[in-house]
Structure formats: structure tokens, C-alpha cells
A and B are shown apart, each in its own frame.
Chain A
Amino acid sequence: MNGSTNLGATVDFRRVTKRFGLGRGGPAAVNDLSLTVPPGEICVLVGPSGCGKTTSLKMVNRLVEPTEGQVLIDGQDVAQVEVTALRRRIGYVIQQIGLFPHQTIADNVGTVPRLLGWPRERIRRRVDELLALIGLDPARVRNRYPSQLSGGERQRVGVARAMAAEPPVMLMDEPFGAVDPIVRERLQNEFLRLHRELRTTVLFVTHDIDEAIKMGDRVAVMQQGGYLAQYAPPSELLTNPANDFVARFVGADRGLKRLSLMTVGDVKLSDATTARQGEAVQAIRARAAAAAARHVLLLDADNQPLGWLQVERLPAEGVADVGGADPSSPVFTGETTLRDALSMLLGSAVQTGVVVSPSGRYEGVLTLDSVGTALRAATSRVTASTDGASSGLATHEHSVQP
């Protein structure tokens, strides 16, 4: 923080293999894994249980040592770094959180800074800053014990504790796996927002493909036996699965999943015929006739939509008024995902949604047709880009992340 823009490090797996068992003769948990996580990105390792995703993660902070190969952070082999010093530079969040039950929230969050020997006052300031950042009131929670917080709050504290010493790399092992779906979604969104500010490099393990698609700038799909099946941005994973395993893993509904990667802002909006509150009905009727429109969107003086006027039902004379307007159509912003937008469109009577700016001003309308057009365009774009690149590592941007 404090204005630092890119404190993420590059994480490199170079031909990493891990076998367990005596004499290391056992089957490989991770098999010849090579992948590069660019600085500041979220890389999600996803796959069924037993695919080696957690083992891969733990080889970064040396809770597990590779049998063959190297893991590099910013070009430095982690095996060459003193292990406690290495771990203090890497944030670590696990599913069960592992907060220290005998320490207050402030002491928990200040763990790594304390290990690093920061002055007491600096730790205190950092702790308060982090608690505020994760949306907890420092004055309220600082001196509480973990058992006095809710599950969602504890999970946030776990994330804050991992970020305390501004690590260039964070490892998160199913961090939101133990909370209910509503809290999970909130925590995911909060973390994405935090990450946009902090830009640390994150390796994130989950078995949930939806979570992987939502959180990842890149997703590494692993399969049984510790093989990397595909490493690509989520949109490419959904459009161009590398093999049958990936196709099955991302699911038959992968076309629908892609909707959650795109936002209303990605779609070319249509224009509706509009009318101003207080405008004469004759003028409105003439304009609707010219556009062959049966409905007209009524706006107030500030361009904020009030509702739809049905042209047939307009009074013979007088002025347009909000009383005759039907406000039932869904309203979106550019940030709304196409998945949510589509769902709302299907559920509404008019199947036309009004798109407004963050300040609520009318920008255009979204229809089922325009969603379909945008999806088809995105598909052909992704296909073209992967056909051009011989490696599986495509270069185009993940569309959710600005």
C-alpha cells in the first residue's frame, strides 16, 4: 500500500515433480509441473482432490520440498533461501484459517511483523490499517479473541494476517471453502477489490471451477497424477478447453459460465426512443412512430430513467408524466456481469434492461439479442487469438480484470 503499485513477484515452477513415500519411489503427486505466474496476477490452481494442487502450493513456501525441479520467486530458487525468512515473505491463508486462539485479533494480524521485529508502534498502525481495509472496525475487534468473531470475520482476519508484512507472494489454500455461499461470494468480491489495490502475486487453490473462473487472471487446471492439463486465462479455458478432461471439468455449461466473465460494459448497447418528463405527448408519439417503437423510455431532467411509457396508452394530449410510466424493467450498470444481466432479463416481463452510469444516468438499453451478439463476437476473438499462438499461454487480457 502507501502508493506502491506493483509489489508482486514472479513465481516460476520449473519442471517440478513431487513424489511421496520412502525412497521417493511412490507415485507422483505433482508431475513435471512448469508454469509461470506473472507479477501481480492471481493464478488459481484448480482440479479434483488428489490432483496435487495443494502440494504444488506448499512447494512455494517449502512446507513441501520438491523431489525434482525448482520453484523460483523473482528468479531466486526458494531452496536457496533460509526457510523461516522465506516463509515470512510469503502470505499464507488456509481453509481452516488457523488463527491463534490464545491471541487477540490485533496480535494475530501482527504475527509476521512481530517475527520480523518491526517496532511496536509500526505494528499497531499496520494492524489498524489492515483491519479497516478488510472492513472490520479496529476499535471493536482489536482486543477480541478469534472465538468471539463470526466465521466470515475470522476468514477476513486470516487474509489480513497473511497480508500484514506486505508479502510479494500470497498462497491461499481454499481460503473461502469453509464459509457459506453468501459469505463466500462477499469475501471473494472483497478480495478481488483488495487485490486490485495491492497487486501482490497470488496463488490460489480451489476445487470449485466457478471460483477459479471468478478469481483467476489465469487458471491452472490440474488432473489426477499431478499433471497440468491447461494453463490459461478463464475465458480461454471456457472457449477452448485443451482436452476432454478440461472440457468435462469446466462443465457442459461452460458457455453460460463465460457470461460471468463479461460485463454489460463489454456489450454494444442499443438506443431506446426516449422522452423527457413534461414533454408534449404529440411530439413523443411522432418520434415513436418514426422509430417504429411501441415503448418509450421516460427520463427526468437529470437523464435518470423513470420507466417505460406504452405509446398506445399515451393520452391524446397533454404532457408525459411519471404516473403513466412502468418502472418494471431491470436496471444495470456497466459493472453488472452478463450472467446476472441475462438472469434478470429472463425474469422480467419486458426483456429489455436499462443501462445507467454509476451516477444513475441513462446510457442505453440491453436486449437478449445484444447479449447473444456479444457472446458470439467474444468466442470468435478468443478462437482467433489461440489459433495464432502455438503455446497454451495466451496473451490476451482476462476481461473481468481491468
Chain B
Amino acid sequence: MTAGEPLIRWDWVLSHLGDIAQRLGEHLVLTGLAVGIGFAVSFALGIWIARRPRLYAPVTWVTGILYTIPSLALFALLIPFTGLSLLTAEIGLVSYTLLILVRNIVGGIQSVPPDVREAAVGMGYTPLQLLWRVELPLALAVIIAGVRVATVTTIGLTTVTALIGQGGLGFLILDGIQRFFSTPLIVGAVLSVGLAVVADGLLVVVQRAATPWARGRS
């Protein structure tokens, strides 16, 4: 960075508002896709293994390995197969959501008190009714808590996908680094953090609205 240069140049920000909004939009799409697909995969996996405790350990082992692979290395490994594409980005991002989401979906279902389950079965709930009407509603708070963590993590991680040409707020950060120009770097970082905070807040609201029974205990 050049000496005497201010940390942030507002005139640049004002003249690049459209560009910044576009990057923000890209970031949202990348994150939304990753969390959405990750949730769908985890939901299926979670329901499958919630009733098969023996599968829980291997599945968390695999998702745990995925979680520990450094994102740059993962992208580098994938590029020979899927190129510098959205698919490459999403494979990486989705992989990182699985550990958190599967764990919370299974944990949520398993946290349903045994007496509640026994009463439901004893009154004649079918296994499917038990899942949809009792287990999932009661697991909702834990599941949404998992979605919150996954979302916040993914928003941060998505900045890396700029390296494989997928835009997002990471593009601004990369741009700042390459040009020794701090303004876009700061804008990208602050927006990424802000987005995470807002998304987390929204999910808290969703969680409270979805679990009215957890409020107003006397």
C-alpha cells in the first residue's frame, strides 16, 4: 500500500456501488446454493442414520475428514476434474456444511425424549408420522442452530471461491490485495462479516418463530 493513501477511499466506493452490489449478490447465491444443497444432502443422510446408530460414526468420520481438508487444497484437487467452475466451488462449499448439518440433524432427532417417543408409538403413530409430527418439530431448534453455524461458516468460506473465478465478495478482497489498494479489500471483508451477522440474526428470528413452545415457560 502506498504511504499517505487513506485506508478507505469513499469516492471509489461511491463510483463502484453497482459493482459491489453485484459481488454481494454473487456471494449470496454461492452461499445460498451451498447451504441449500448441503441441507438437502444432510437431511437425507441424517434421517437415514438417526435410526441406524451404527452408521453415525462412519458418516461423521467421512464428513469430518472433508471438513479438515484446507479449502485451497480441495479446489486444487477438483480443478483437473471440474475446472474453474461453479460446480467446483459448490462441491467444496457443500462439503464443509455436511459435518455441522448432519451432526445437528441427527443430534436433534436423538434429543427427542424417549417418553415422548414411546407415548407417540403407543398411541398409534406410524413411523413416518412419528418423524414428521413429533421428532422433526422437536429437533427443529437444534437443526436451525446447525443451519446458523453452517451459514455463517459458508459466508466466510465463500470469499475463497474468488480464487477459482466465481466472484463474490472475495473478488473485491483479491482485487485489493493484487493492486495494493485497501479500499475494495476492506469493503469486501466488512460486507462479508456484515452478511454473516445479518444472516445469523434472521435465522434466530426463524428459530424463535418455529418453536413457539420454547417461549414463555412458567
Q: In the complex, are the beta carbons of A145 and B213 less than 8 A apart?
A: yes
Q: In the complex, are the beta carbons of A102 and B213 less than 8 A apart?
A: yes
Give bound CA distance, A102 to B142, whole Å.
Answer: 14
Residues in A whose Cβ lies below 8 Å from that of B5? none
Give bound CA distance, A87 to B117, whole Å.
Answer: 14
Q: In the complex, are the beta carbons of B122 and A61 less than 8 A apart?
A: yes
Q: In the complex, are the beta carbons of B116 and A112 less than 8 A apart?
A: no
Q: Which of A85, A87, A102, A171 contacts B211 (CB 8 A)?
A: A102
Q: In the complex, are the beta carbons of B119 and A98 less than 8 A apart?
A: yes
A57 to chain B minimum Cβ distance, whole angstroms, is 10
Residues in B whose Cβ lies below 8 Å from that of A95? 115
In the complex with contacts A101-B138, A103-B213, A115-B125, A148-B218 CB distance below 8 A: yes
Count of chain B residues with a beta carbon within 8 Å of a chain A beta carbon = 23
Give bound CA distance, A101 to B120, whole Å.
Answer: 12
Q: In the complex, are the beta carbons of A97 and B115 less than 8 A apart?
A: yes
The answer, yes or no, to whether A295 is at the interface (CB within 8 Å) is: no
Which chain A residue shows the least CB distance to B117?
A98
Q: CB within 8 Å of B: which of A75-96?
A: 83-88, 92, 94-96
Residues in A whose Cβ lies below 8 Å from that of B119? 92, 94, 97-100
The answer, yes or no, to whether A147 is at the interface (CB within 8 Å) is: yes
Give bound CA distance, A111 to B211, whole Å.
Answer: 19
Q: In the complex, are the beta carbons of B116 and A99 less than 8 A apart?
A: yes
Q: In the complex, are the beta carbons of A98 and B211 less than 8 A apart?
A: no
In the complex with contacts A88-B123, A94-B122, A148-B116 CB distance below 8 A: no
Residues in A whose Cβ lies below 8 Å from that of B118? 63, 94, 98
* 7 A-B pairs closest in CB distance: A98-B119, A96-B115, A87-B124, A88-B124, A92-B122, A98-B115, A145-B213
What is the interface of chain B, defined by CB distance below 8 A to chain A? 113, 115-126, 129, 134, 137-138, 211-213, 216-218
Q: List 17 other contacts, CB 8 Å, given A92-B123, A103-B213, A147-B213.
A: A61-B122, A63-B121, A84-B126, A87-B121, A87-B123, A94-B119, A98-B116, A98-B120, A100-B120, A100-B134, A102-B134, A111-B123, A115-B123, A115-B129, A145-B212, A145-B217, A171-B122
